[in-house]
Structures are given as structure tokens and as C-alpha cells.
Structure 1
Amino acid sequence: MDEHAKVLLISVAAQLAGMHPQTLRQYDRMGLVEPGRSAGGGRRYSLRDVELLREIQRLSQEEGVNLAGVRRIIDQERLVLELRERLQHMQERLAYAEARLAQLEAISAFPRSELLPSTRTSTALVVWRPRSSEG
């Protein structure tokens, strides 16, 4: 089963997380966990949501973090995950650009030292070579 699929009823998710269903409703209202909704409006949870509920419980009960603190921790973890994904994407784009530059060098008479990267934010590659004084 896909860990992100929102298919678990609130009673099942509460049992898996070791919580009362009312606690899950409260966490939903507070924005700590974001269940999906069925056509009839019932909450649906994923296995990832259950893991998050367990982490909320651990932070609040074992670490003594209040729910406002738990929310900040969760928000920061989400931000870190988003930034990691963006970094991965940028690394992939950089690798592509470097490979493309190597291809252009291989078919061109321009040595790398004469190729200047674009200062624009677009994805276009600008190749420049000064005019020779002869000519």
C-alpha cells in the first residue's frame, strides 16, 4: 500500500497511532495533521499520517513539547523536506547544464575558458567569444 494514500478511517488511524479518534480530530483542527476527505466528508488518513501522529505523541508525551512547539517542529521538518527536494532539482539542472556545456565544447572550437555563463536567470546558455584583432 502506498504510504501516502489517504484510505484509513479515523477509527483505524486512531487505533494504529494509539490515540482516541477525538484527538485526531483536534490535531486536524489545529493543522498538525491533514487527512483527506471522503465524498461524504469523513476523514481519511494515510500510513504516513499515522507515523506523523505517533511522532506528535512522542514529542508531546516523551519530550514534553507543547502542541504549539510540535506544530513549529513539524513545519520546520516540512520546510527542510521541501528545501531538500528543491536542492535535488537544482543539482539535476546543474548536472544537465554541465553535460550540455561539455557537449558544446566537444563540437565547438571554443575552449572552456572562453565560454561565459549567462548572467540572466533564464535557462538559455550564452556562448561568447571575443573578436580577434585580425580581421
Structure 2
Amino acid sequence: MDENSPVFAIAMAAELAGMHPQTLRQYDRLGLVSPTRTPGKSRRYSMRNVVQLREIARLSAEGVSLEGIARILTLENQVNALTSRVRELESALADELLNRPNRRVFAADVQGDVVSLKHGTRTARRTEIVIWRPSAADRD
């Protein structure tokens, strides 16, 4: 069973989370846990929702306000999404390196623009010296 599959009715989800069904309705209204809805508009909770409900109960028992819990859950969801995206990008990079060994993925020129380079070449390094002298406008 997938952890995101909406399989539990509100009574079962409440029992699994150790809460009253009315508490789950309140958390849904506040946006703390958003179950999916059936065509008949009844709530269906996933195992991930039940885990979130347990986390809410734990944080609440530690004295964190519902607003604080909402912020924590939002940040945790963002971290999970970003972690997933990093894994995707790492996988894409690994595939690129395997499919094209000894090639650069990209390079940047002096202005910061992306340029393509042939294998074994490098961008030219700038070695000139620039002397800056403040103008009258810079002194004011």
C-alpha cells in the first residue's frame, strides 16, 4: 500500500492517530492536514495523513501552538520537496556524466553567461589589471 493512498475513513484515521474525529475535522478546517475527498464529499485519510496527525499531537503535547505547528509542517513539506528535487537533479547529473564521460556539463564566461566548450578546452582567463579612481560623484 502506498503511504499517500487515501484509504481511511475519518473514524479509522482518528483511531489510528489517537484523536477524536471532531479534532480531525478541525485540523482539516485549519489546513493542518488535508485529506482527499470522495465524490460524496467524505474525507479519506492516507497513512501519511495519520503520521502527520500523530506529529501534530506530539507537538501540541510539547506546548507548540496550532499556528506554530502549521508553520513547522509547511517547512517540513518544503524540505521534503526540495530533498526530492535534489535527488532528481543528482540522478540526472549522474546519468549525464555516465552517458557523456569526460564532457563538461556547462561553463561560464567572464560575464557569467553559459557557454559550451569542447572537451579539453578551457575559458580564457583575464589577467589585466584595472585601476579604479573615484570620480567626483563617487566622493559625495
Which is richer in helix? Answer: 1
Pairwise CA RMSD: 2.3
* Deviations 1:76-119 (CA, angstroms, capped at 9, x unpaired): 110110110111011112112222331xx5xxxxxx6xx68355
Q: Which residue of 2 aligns with 1:48?
A: 48
* Deviations 1:35-72 (CA, angstroms, capped at 9, x unpaired): 011110000001111111011001001x1100000001
In structure 2, how many angstroms separate the alpha carbons of the residues matched to 1:80 and 1:116?
26
Moved over 4 A (4+): 118-121
What is the CA-CA distance between 1:18 and the residue it aligns to? 1.0
In structure 2, how many angstroms separate the alpha carbons of the residues matched to 1:16 and 1:8?
9
Q: Which residue of 1 aligns with 2:106?
A: 117
* Uncovered stretches (5+) of structure 1, i.e. residues with no partner: 106-111, 131-135
SS at match of 2:100: helix
In structure 1, how many angstroms separate the alpha carbons of the residues matched to 2:107 and 2:53?
47
Identity value in percent: 47
Number of aligned residue pairs = 116
Superposed counterparts of 1:9-88, under 5 Å: 9-61=9-61, 63-88=62-87
Contact 1:116–1:128 (Cα < 8 Å) also in 2:
no
CA shift in 2, pair 1:118/1:97, >3 Å? farther
* Uncovered stretches (5+) of structure 2, i.e. residues with no partner: 122-140
What is the CA-CA distance between 1:127 and the residue it aligns to? 4.2
